[in-house]
Amino acid sequence: MKHDVLKHSSFFQHMEEFGYMRDITELLPEDFTAVFEIARVLEDPNAPLFKAIEPAMTVAPQAAVEKRLNDREWQPNRNVSHGEEYEAALMQSYTDLKRIFPHQYLLPEEVFMERYARRSLWINIPRSPMIVPFGNSSSEYSPNNFKQKVYLLLDTSTSMASHHRFQMAKAVAYVFLKRNLKELGHIYLRTFDTDLGPLQTAIDAPSLQNLLHYVMRLTKLGNGTVLERAILQAAADIRVSAALSGAEMLIVTDGAAHLDVDKIREALGGGIRINTIKIGDAVLYPDEKLLSDLASRGATPRQRDLKKLEEEIGTMQRQLTSAGFEREKGRLKSHLQTLTQRAATLRGEIVEGLRQWYGREIEQLSRVFVNINDISADSLFVLQQSEIDEIRQLLAEVEQDFSEGMDADSLREAALLYEHVQMLLKSATDNAQRAQLQALAQRLNELLHDVVKGGEHKHAGLRNITRDDIHDLQMILHMQSKQGGSLADLLLLMLRQILKRFFSPKQKFRFGKKT
């Protein structure tokens, strides 16, 4: 049956799942099919790359579930929706004021303010659910309140364009979601660079497909990495939504960023965990003045001790200024010198600790932290002979489709296959492999040029082309014709002319835009 072999091939199945086949709204990123090759490696449990990131790629391990089950006194009432399951807890942040139990406003003002300052007012929070793996009875995404919720944070800073990091991040997100499909509850996702991207959610199969398409079609990168802001926003989203109670974060980034550990831990509380996959070897090198300033601004016990010493030193200096007797001045100077030495020693110890972890705080915050080296094109895009034979088989099926009667799907498949071969050619170093890929690319080029030359007179199925089909092809094609000019432009111009012939003159079509 027409298209059956192509439709069920791994390559075109992934292209469909990635949202690269149809209903495309913007030009796809250059080398977009590289995500397929990286995902194919990550889907192999024996691949070294997958083994390197495996600890961060699985949610709700059975051992952890059983431990939480045994440690927990409260058991969920499965006849009550999750939104109705709440428990009392002390406020963790001053922003929790709007969530306190109303009867506490009856307290005397001084008592109320004291408890507010100490964060000892009681609030109502969603009860963390018991996360139970769903089992193996279904391969579809079917979230419920007792499955593990996840919040993905993807770095979209400009540095992600290097070494295929952005394609790597997309492939990680895809494989993570597909690998844990049966165990996942609601899924939230944001991107971050100089700003935060819009919140994306998946609560059923169609919205999961939309979320995957959103990730795979991301093209815009920004300067900067607001990682701390992204984590705090994710924590706020989780705390506000009862449907996300007990969620885990998965962060994929290539950046080194200084984070306020205490501030983030306060936002995370005890129920939100972070797993991180870092790509590359970026590091931060702070100067001594910055570290010295940070030593006095933190909230750790040692930093609080340093603040007290600095306050005592300030008090002692004022007393010394106003002291009238030499004996009193001598005593104050001696005490001041002792305090100054203690403060200098403590500051040095704190600075040394800050230097060790500066820019690496995400490692301290993460339950699982994985750092992988940049991937080389040689290791990922040099194919085995069987994989080249697979592409050759796909080309044969495309040729058969062209001969049996071309349509829009045939053109999509040929265009995607051509783009993929061109991407592989960029990284091919083996001469024999390069020659095979060049032959495949040349044959696909000839097929598409034949379409341009023959038009609807030779390929009657093109008469059924729609404006949406033409738009999708325009978003897919990046290729250039060796005969001069853009093959994409020639092909799309021909299709546009066909469309004009078979649509009423009153129907307007703006080339390059969906209407």
Amino acid 66: pLDDT:
43
Q: What are phi and psi of 124, to 5 degrees?
A: -100, 120
Cα-based angle 413, 420, 376 (whole degrees, multiple of 5):
155
Amino acid 330: pLDDT:
84
Residue among 58, 21, 30, 448 at smallest CA distance from 248: 58
How many other CB atoms are found less than 10 A from the CB of residue 381? 20
Q: What is the C-alpha to C-alpha distance for residues 464 and 503, in angstroms, rounded to an integer?
A: 11
Number of H helices, E strands in the chain: 20, 8
| Beta bridge partner(s), residue 118 | none
Amino acid 211: pLDDT:
95
How many other CB atoms are found less than 10 A from the CB of residue 168? 28
Print pLDDT tens along the chain (515 aa): 344 545 557 888 898 899 888 887 777 887 888 999 999 889 888 988 899 999 999 885 444 544 544 454 444 443 334 444 667 888 877 778 888 888 889 999 988 988 888 888 988 777 655 444 434 334 588 888 888 899 999 999 998 988 889 999 999 999 999 999 888 999 999 999 999 999 999 999 999 999 999 999 998 888 888 999 999 999 999 988 877 878 899 999 998 888 888 889 989 988 899 999 999 888 877 777 777 777 777 777 788 888 888 888 888 888 888 877 778 878 888 888 888 888 888 888 888 877 777 888 899 999 999 999 888 776 777 788 888 898 899 888 888 877 777 777 888 888 888 889 888 888 888 888 889 999 998 888 888 777 766 555 555 556 566 777 777 777 777 654 333 345 555 555 555 655 555 444 444 444 444 44
Three-state secondary structure readout of 417-440: HHHHHHHHHHHCCCHHHHHHHHHH
CB of 152 within 8 A of CB of 189?
A: yes
One-letter amino acid for residue 267 of the chain? A
Q: What is the C-alpha to C-alpha distance for residues 483 and 449, in angstroms, rounded to an integer?
A: 10
State the distance between the two ends of the chain, measured CA to CA, in whole angstroms. 33
CB of 245 within 8 A of CB of 128?
A: yes
Q: List all residues 6 or more positions away from 421 whose beta carbon is below 8 Å from its beta carbon.
A: 391, 437, 440, 441, 444
The DSSP letter of residue 19 is: T
How many other CB atoms are found less than 10 A from the CB of residue 228? 19
CB of 171 within 8 A of CB of 215?
A: no
Q: Is 435 left (phi over 0), alpha (psi -120 to 50) or beta?
A: alpha
The torsion defined by the Cα of 457, 459, 461 and 465, in degrees rounded to 10, comes to: -80
Pairing of strands 200-202, 184-192: antiparallel
Amino acid 499: pLDDT:
54
- Give pTM, 2 decimals: 0.73
Amino acid 448: pLDDT:
76
Amino acid 367: pLDDT:
92
* Strand, helix or coil for residue 455: helix
Residue among 155, 280, 122 at smallest CA distance from 230: 155
Segments in 130-202 forming alpha helices (H): 165-179
Q: What is the C-alpha to C-alpha distance for residues 140 and 336, in angstroms, rounded to an integer?
A: 70
Cα-based angle 9, 15, 20 (whole degrees, multiple of 5):
150
One-letter amino acid for residue 170 of the chain? K
